[in-house]
Amino acid sequence: MQPKSINQTGPQTFTVVWKDAVVMEYRLADVQKSCPCAHCRKVGAKVQEEVNVRSIETVGRYGLRFTFVTGCDRGVYTYSLLRRIGRQLKSS
């Protein structure tokens, strides 16, 4: 499943509209907590309560990279990981 659009909705939140019309909301702190890089998987990601992001870029066809202002930004978040950690919003 791939995103149709990614929209930052606040300083610490963004939503992803998936191609199947599912809309999911994310808090940047929760995203960073799930950092999939080798280091964070081993020792756990250190995350501040308020996490800001400089940019969100797509990586190939399979994931997103977040450039966080603080903390680890080495992880590539695959779409399947993002589908697992998002909070699904009610479809309108």
Separation between Cα atoms, residue 36 and residue 78, nearest integer Å = 9
For 44-58, b where at least 16 C-beta lie within 10 A, e where not — what string? ebebeeebebeebee
Closer to Zn ion by Cβ: residue 23 or 56: 56
Residue found under tokens 């308020």: 50
Judged by CB under 5 A, the residue of 6, 17, 22, 37 near Zn ion is: 37
Closer to Zn ion by Cβ: residue 48 or 88: 48
Please report whether residue 6 would count as binding Zn ion according to CB under 5 A.
no
Residues of this chain that bind Zn ion (CB under 5 A): 35, 37, 40, 72, 74-75
